[in-house]
Amino acid sequence: MSSRRTVWSLSFLVLLFAFASSLPVKAQDQSAPVKRGRKYKSPPATSHIEVTVVKKFNGKPIMNAAVIFNPSMDGKDEGNLEVKTDPDGKATIDVIPTGSTVRVQVIAQGFATFAEEYEVTEPNKEISVSMIHPREQVSSYENNDGKAATRKPGVQEPVRPTTPAAKPAPSAPPATPPQPAAPNSTPQQ
């Protein structure tokens, strides 16, 4: 019984020693530079961009507004990405390459669309957007500069004039009143 216990304890100590001796070898492997293929090109550094969308007239955040990022670097379009704002009116993204130009477009229901280009030169960029209600369409015939839109936001139904329905004429009594049948008369055929 004691020999069996001794064998188990010795085998346990040997395994423990083998495990402990392999730890420094693992640590050396992690510090070594990672070997990659000869055509490997590391991805560019990216910036963390945070866009805050608020209403201009009261400063409250706009939830669920679409924020569209369209980055371009050295004249080459990098595609576009769309992010929705959270309840605090913030949309964050961290895949835009540093040193690029990004066009930020904000679309929110009931507000005029916002679009602006920004240079991303630092690792963190904060953008604040104040949304206004839609303005009147530009016209060459009258000055609508700064006027509020006359159309309400949302789906527009065509305005159709409503005319009151003509009242039906009262039913006129028959021209000749029906003659009561005489009891002695025979029916006419």
The stretch 167-184 carries a mean pLDDT of 62
Average confidence (pLDDT) over 55-77: 93
HSE-up of 35 (CA within 13 Å, CB side)? Answer: 1
pLDDT at residue 169 is higher than 90? no
CB atoms within 10 A of CB 101: 17
56 assigned to some structural domain:
yes
Judge whether 10 lies within some domain. no
Q: What pLDDT digit, counting tens, does each position of 18-55 carry?
A: 777 766 655 555 566 677 777 888 888 999 999 999 99
For residue 68, pLDDT over 90 is answered with: yes
Residue 119 in contact with residue 101, Cβ under 8 Å? yes
The counts of H helices and E strands in the chain are 1, 8
- Residue 72 in any domain: the answer is yes
The predicted-structure confidence for 4-19, as pLDDT tens digits, reads as follows 778 788 787 777 777 7
Q: Is residue 188 part of a domain?
A: no
CA angle 103, 84, 82 (to 5 degrees): 40
CATH label of the domain that carries residue 123: 2.60.40.10
User: Is the residue at 9 inside a domain?
Assistant: no
Cα–Cα separations (whole angstroms), residue 61 to 14, 95, 131:
65, 24, 10
Mean pLDDT, all residues of the chain: 81
Question: What is the average pLDDT across 173-187?
Answer: 61
Residue 95, domain member (yes or no): yes
How many whole angstroms separate alpha carbon 86 and alpha carbon 48? 16
Q: Categorize the per-residue pLDDT at 179 as very low, low, confident or very high, splitting at 50, 70 and 90.
A: low
Confidence grade of residue 153 (pLDDT, cut at 50, 70, 90) = low
Query: Residue 126 is part of which domain span?
Result: 46-131
Task: Classify residue 134 as exposed, middle or buried by CB count within 10 Å of its CB (0-12, 13-18, 19+).
Answer: middle
Confirm whether 13 is domain-assigned. no
Does 17 fall in a domain? no
Quote the number of domains for the chain.
1
Identify the residue whose tokens are 């040997």. Answer: 14
Tens of pLDDT, residues 95-134: 999 999 999 999 999 899 999 999 999 999 999 999 998 8
pLDDT band, residue 156 (cuts 50/70/90): low
Are the C-beta atoms of 71 and 119 separated by less than 8 Å?
Answer: no
Residue 132 amino acid letter? I
